[in-house]
Amino acid sequence: MMIELKEINKDYHLGLETVHALRGVDLNIDNNEYVAIMGPSGSGKSTLMNLLGCLDTPSSGLYMLNGSDVSDMDDNALAEIRNREIGFVFQNFNLLPRASALHNVELPLIYNGTPSSKRRDLAEEALTKVGLKDRMHHRPNELSGGQRQRVAVARALVNNPSIILADEPTGNLDTRTGDEIMDLFETLHDNGNTIILVTHEEYIAEHSDRIIRLRDGRVERDEAV
Amino acid sequence: MRASEFVVQLRENLVIALDVIRNHKMRSFLTLLGVIIGVMSIIGVQSLIEGFQKSIHQQMEQLGANVFQVQKFPVNIGHDERDKYRNRKDITWEHAKAIEKYCTAVERVGPEAWHFEIIVKYRDRKTSPMNVMAGGTPEFFANNSYFIDGGRAFSEVDVQQKADVAVIGKDIIDALFPFEDPLGKFILADGRRYQVIGTLEEMGSRFGNSEDNKVVIPLSTFLKYYGSYRSLNITVQATSVDMMETAQEQVIGVLRAVRKVPPGEDNDFEIWTSNSLIKSFNDITRAVRIGALVIVSFSLLVAGIGIMNIMLVSIRERTREIGVRMAIGAKRGDIRMQFLIEAIFLSVIGGLFGILIGVGLGQLIALISPVPAAIPVFTILLGFVVCVAVGVIFGVVPAVKASKMDPITALRYE
Ligand SMILES: Nc1ncnc2c1ncn2[C@@H]1O[C@H](COP(=O)(O)OP(=O)(O)O)[C@@H](O)[C@H]1O
Ligand SMILES: [Mg+2]
């Protein structure tokens, strides 16, 4: 099992009030699954994604990722896990505005000390996979929204991570470009990648193999498409 | 962090830092102004001081390492301080003769007297009042490294006869004899008539003052007109550099005996060598240097605060970038290092400009004034190190602040 969540709780403390963002979430996700997480606003989707992506640790519960317990790792260990095991795709792309597409894709490799020639090869390879090799010297503001999100996907892919986590990746794109990105995820899935994405849209979720619906921090439904 | 990782990240960080400066030219420039001014002024001051020092040392060497002076007053004392020494006995020609007679380690003795700010006239021409009258014996020329290039120096006979003869410098020749040969002509120096018997080779300037403004006459003649009550300087040349100390001891012994200084009391005269002048010059430059250092420290403090401020602004603007970097695997230490390097880079860039401008300024001043300048290598290195230190000291707070951000909050920052 690639991901095992057991009795995961996440509380936020706002002054005297406590927000229970996640309440006892149990979840298993296997290698090469394609999972969509849905639910109303405030149901805990982003909180769950942040935990899965090791940007945060749960208040209680167990998170096993590829057989190792990441629930209470320290900051440095989590950073290494994010670098090696996780590829993030954000709703607003989150590219470095002044860096070329190539450099943006190289960025994760910089933090594990990959030498520059190898870095460039890997980044070019990832950009080729998303069909943007001919645009690799362009800066984000010289690219369309769909192209920017492809660069972000290439960046997520470049370190060959265990999971690709995408929080509303089509949220800022029109329907047609959104579909292109979904096609890209489809291809990545076919090539053996594990994909978890958050979406509001049923038709986007339809692309996945399994939909997990959250409500009030609990898994309401978990079913194959 | 492994070494290879560090190198990879260092390069990345330098590229980012350069990019940030490129994209915020005005802001960076204003931030760097403090560093530039600070480093520039220390380098500028230092080039001039070192230039001075070099030329003084050279000239002291020219003056001869086996020569020292005996005089009534210490060198380089203020006017008020002079009063303290005023009632010492004058140094006389008799003292010089005693030294010549009894000191075996002494090669040559040259008693001299000086009178400043004289005007020299010839027919309807006259010089500025900045010329100098010197009275000496025939040894005077060799002792002071003055060379005769026309006519002759005065002789022992001239000295015995108190002859009204003069040897004059290039400035005076230029002013009075533009179209004539000065030899044999009669000039009026400080109102008295002398026949020119020799001319001095051009010497140029020492310490920014012309050395070619001398009228040299026999000491006996000098004392005849200016009175024998004045204290002389005695230039003493030891038989060799090795005999300098012995010669000085002998001279001190003879002078104490002749001047009847009771045993146990301090000398009532001063002995100084070029070393003692160099030392007092160094004392002065040390004070200038400390002054400059204080100013520089202040401007670097201001600069440092500027750098800290700009880094804090930059970090706020780049919150999302920090979040992204953390999400894709940057450790807190990596972020801290990134911004620390950026601050150091900023400071060092300012420092490099400061060094360039400072060196340029020193050379420029040297070019348009008689003040010499050197390139102060040690200070340049020091300035570089100080810039790195300023970057580290004032970059630490922003860098630590950046590294402590929560990646989730940072990613959501608008
Ligand atoms: N950093 C936080 N501090 C306080 N409360 C938070 C924080 N993040 C999320 N929450 C709360 O946790 C709940 C779940 O939020 P979130 O996971 O963002 O939901 P979703 O992504 O499904 O809209 C919400 O009630 C939200 O207000
Ligand atoms: Mg959300």
pLDDT digits (tens, 9 = 90+) for B270-320: 888 776 666 667 777 788 878 878 888 888 888 899 899 999 999 999 999
Nearest-neighbour CA in chain A from B394: distance (Å): 25
Residue having the nearest C-alpha atom to atom 18 of ligand 1? A46
Do B287 and B378 lie in one domain? The reply is yes
Enumerate the domain spans of chain A: 31-57+81-224
pLDDT band at residue B63, thresholds of 50, 70 and 90?
A: low
Euclidean distance between CA atoms B193 and B263, whole angstroms: 46
pLDDT of residue B231: 86
Distance CA A155, CA A224 (A): 29
Nearest to B324, CA basis, from B407, B406, B245, B232 = B407
**Residue-level pLDDT at A180:** 92
CA–CA gap between residue B405 and residue B65 (Å, rounded): 68
Residues B178, B94 share a domain: yes
Determine whether the shortest distance from the Cβ of A171 to ligand 1 is under 6 A: no
Cα–Cα distance for residue pair A179/B176, rounded to 1 Å: 100
Distance between Cα A40 and ligand 2 center (Å): 9
Co-location of B234 and B312 in the same domain? no
Query: Is B200 a member of any domain?
Result: yes
pLDDT band (50, 70, 90) for residue B344: very high
Single-letter amino acid code for the residue at A83 = N
Are residues B202 and B338 both part of a single domain?
no
Give the whole-angstrom CA distance, residue A198 versus residue A207. Answer: 12
Distance CA B370, CA B211 (A): 13
Confidence at residue B169, expressed as pLDDT on a 0 to 100 scale: 94
Count Cα neighbours of A33 within 13 Å in the Cβ-side half-sphere. Answer: 20
Q: Do A98 and B9 touch (CB under 8 A)?
A: no
Do residues B240 and B317 share a domain? Answer: no
Residue A7 is inside which H or E element, if any?
A: strand A3-14
DSSP secondary structure code for residue A142 in this structure: G
Check if the beta carbon of residue B379 is closer than 8 Å to that of residue B38.
no
Nearest to A79 among B4, B9, B331 (CB): B331
Cβ burial, residue A1 (10 Å; 0-12/13-18/19+): exposed
More confident residue, B288 or B119: B119
| Maximum CA extent, chain A | 54
Are residue B284 and residue B312 in the same domain, yes or no?
yes
Does any domain span residue B75?
no
Nearest residue (by CA) to ligand 1, atom 13, is A21
- Per-residue pLDDT tens over the stretch B246-276: 999 999 999 999 999 988 888 889 888 776 6
Do B286 and B264 share a structural domain?
no
Average pLDDT over residues A120-145: 95
Is residue A143 predicted with pLDDT exceeding 90? yes
A139: number of Cβ within 10 Å: 16
- Residues B294 and B394 occupy one common structural domain: yes
Chain B nearest C-alpha distance from A92 (Å): 10
Closest Cβ–Cβ partner in B320, B329, B330 for A94? B320
Cα gap B159→B221, rounded to integer Å: 7
Q: Identify whether residues B135 and B237 lie together within a single domain.
A: yes
Distances (CA, A) of B63 to B69, B110, B146: 11, 14, 10
B221 in any annotated domain = yes
Please, which pLDDT band fits residue B210 given cuts at 50, 70 and 90? confident
* Number of other residues whose CB lies within 10 A of the CB of residue A31: 13
By CA distance, what is B413's nearest residue in A?
Answer: A94
Ligand nearest the Cα of residue A168 is: 2
pLDDT above 70: residue B76 = no
Ligand 1 atom nearest the C-alpha of A49 is 17
Contacts of residue B407, Cβ cutoff 8 Å, sequence gap at least 6: A55, B322, B323, B326, B327
Q: What is the pLDDT of residue B38?
A: 86
* Residue at a domain's end among B249, B268, B287: B268
The type of residue at B329 is G
Query: What is the pLDDT, as a whole number, of residue B240?
Result: 79
Domain of B111, in residue numbers = 89-268
Q: pLDDT per residue over A90-124, tens digit each?
A: 999 999 998 999 999 999 999 988 888 999 999 99
Is the pLDDT at A29 greater than 90, yes or no?
yes
Q: Write down the CATH number for the domain with range A31-57+81-224.
A: 3.40.50.300
pLDDT score, position B145: 78
What secondary structure letter does DSSP report for A67? T
Residue B50 lies in a domain: yes
Burial class (CB in 10 A: 0-12, 13-18, 19+), A200: middle
Q: Does residue B1 have a pLDDT over 80?
A: no
> Under DSSP, is residue B387 helix (H, G, I), strand (E, B) or coil?
helix
The tokens for B93 are 């020609």
Q: How confident is the model at residue B321 (pLDDT cuts 50, 70, 90)?
A: very high
Residue B64 lies in a domain: no
- Would the CB of A225 count as within 6 Å of ligand 1? no
Query: How far is B12 from A85, CA to CA, in rounded Å?
Result: 23
- Among the partner-chain residues B9, B19, B324, the one whose CB lies closest to the CB of A94 is B324
**What CA–CA distance (Å, rounded) separates A51 from A214?**
15
Only one residue has tokens 């080729």, namely A128
Written as one letter, the residue type at B281 is F
Which candidate from B5, B328, B408 shows the least CB-CB separation from A107? B328
Residue type present at position B349: I
Residue B183 lies in a domain: yes
Structure tokens at B266: 């301090």
Kindly report the protein residue whose alpha carbon is nearest to atom 2 of ligand 1.
A12
Gyration radius from chain B CA atoms? 32
Domain shared by B263 and B302, yes or no: no
- 3-class secondary structure, B57: helix
pLDDT score for B4? 74
If one counts the domains in chain B, the total is 2
Name the β-bridge partners of B199: B150, B168
In a shared domain, residues B395 and B321: yes
* Residues B226 and B247 both lie in one domain: yes
List A residues 133-162 in contact with B (Cβ-Cβ < 8 A): 155, 159
Domain boundary among B268, B291, B312: B268
What is the mean pLDDT of the segment spanning A198-222?
95
Distance from first CA to last CA of chain B, Å, rounded? 31
Low-confidence winner among A7-11, B358-362, B395-399 (lowest mean pLDDT): B358-362
pLDDT over 80 at B209, yes or no: no
Give, using CA atoms, the residue closest to atom 1 of ligand 1: A12
Provide the token pair at B338: 């990134």
CA B273, B276, B277: angle at the middle one, nearest 5? 95
* Chain A residue closest in CA terms to B6: A113
Residue B158 falls within a domain, yes or no? yes
Q: How confident is the model over B160-164, as a mean pLDDT?
A: 94
Instruction: Confirm if A216 and A183 have CB atoms less than 8 A apart.
Output: no
Tell me the pLDDT band of B229, cut-offs 50, 70 and 90.
confident
* Domain boundary, last residue among B237, B268, B299: B268
